[in-house]
Amino acid sequence: MKASEKLAEKLIDTHSLTEEEYAALIRSREEVRDTLRGAAVRERKAIYGNKVFTRGLIEISSFCKNDCLYCGIRRSNANAERYRLTPDEILECADRGYELGFRTFVMQGGEDAYFTDERLVPLITEIKRRHPDCAVTLSLGERSYDSYKRLREAGADRYLLRHETADEEHYKKLHPAEMSFENRMRCLKNLRALGYQVGCGFMVGSPFQTPETLAKDLKFIESFKPEMCGIGPFVPHHETPFAKHTAGTLELTCFLLSVIRIIHPPVLLPATTALGTIDPMGRERGILCGANVVMPNLSPVSVRKKYELYDNKICTGEEAAECRGCLERRMAHIGYEIVSERGDFLA
């Protein structure tokens, strides 16, 4: 048996490898891709069957005080068009989403000082009042423990905060000096302590990423055991310092989706819009490698192009209903079913 096959077998049997073993597995992935894909699909089917959960994404603001080197809405991008949705617009997105069958709403945005706790608390309360059977997920970046606490008490159920990379030196190459790996990790721990279902995650193929940094990401997922994990390819944005870097690949993203599913079988794992952006069948391929979530856009079409984290983002022209219908057909085509459920983590 080849060394890579032994590693794959160990991963399938024990859901764990050492950091060195993860790096070796990633390097020799061609030899074990199919084996791991098969195991990932079996794990996912045992827990979630052929269900695919949807999250209605509402992009509430493109203002951001941060300057992440990879991101198209970083504050230094003077050409980014900035917008923020009003509370009424956000509530309308949620109402429309509810009619379409969404039972989770994700409010995502740049780190916009306008969205204070005083503004977010009534908004979360009102969404939960109108739609008590829905989960509210926030993805609004780093905030204080107190802020996370107030938002949680207002009814927020889940929080997505990608760790971006579990290697501190790599983190420094992706972010400006005023941001810190330490604070990112502290935020994730605070969210967990407050009882949120927490999503971490990273970009695949981000500049300076190596099999060794990825091995740290996998070890982090092994120990943190996130309820959700968002991974998608890095896609360059023309107005950022990483404009000339190459995008992450479908192949490596799909491989890592399989590995993450095996490490932590109940994890909620999206086939991301970025994956659909680098390949027309990207989201289908993601599901077939172990993902079980898709996150269509519920933002008003008038603002969608302005929430441009990376170039060529798909689904910026369609209405929410079209996106839902399109994904239902795409999933049915590969034998999966989009369901109208909250899609909570099943431990």
Site residues (vs ligand SAH, CB under 6 A): 70-71, 108, 110-111, 139, 141, 161-162, 164, 203, 232, 234-235, 237, 274, 309-310
Q: Which is nearer to ligand SAH, 56 or 265 (CB)?
A: 56
What's the min distance (Å) between Cβ of 239 and ligand SAH? 11
Q: Which residues contact 164 (CB under 8 A, 6 or more apart)?
A: 171, 174, 175, 184, 202, 203, 206
Q: Which is nearer to ligand SAH, 85 or 161 (CB)?
A: 161
Q: Which helix (H) or strand (E) holds 172?
A: helix 168-174
In 10 A of CB 197, how many CB atoms? 19
Q: Which is nearer to ligand SAH, 134 or 161 (CB)?
A: 161
What's the min distance (Å) between Cβ of 244 and ligand SAH? 13
Q: Which is nearer to ligand SAH, 51 or 238 (CB)?
A: 238
What's the min distance (Å) between Cβ of 270 and ligand SAH? 11
The residue type at 187: C
| b/e per residue 202-238 (b: at least 16 CB within 10 A) | bbbbbbebebebbbbbbbbbbebbbbbbbbbbbbbbe
What's the min distance (Å) between Cβ of 49 and ligand SAH? 28
What's the min distance (Å) between Cβ of 108 and ligand SAH? 5
Q: Which is nearer to ligand SAH, 150 or 237 (CB)?
A: 237
* Separation between Cα atoms, residue 40 and residue 346, nearest integer Å: 16
Query: Scanning the structure block, which residue is given the tokens 């109940």?
Result: 266
Do residues 331 and 337 touch, judged by C-beta distance below 8 A? yes
The residue type at 71: C
Q: Which is nearer to ligand SAH, 8 or 184 (CB)?
A: 184
What's the min distance (Å) between Cβ of 80 and ligand SAH? 12
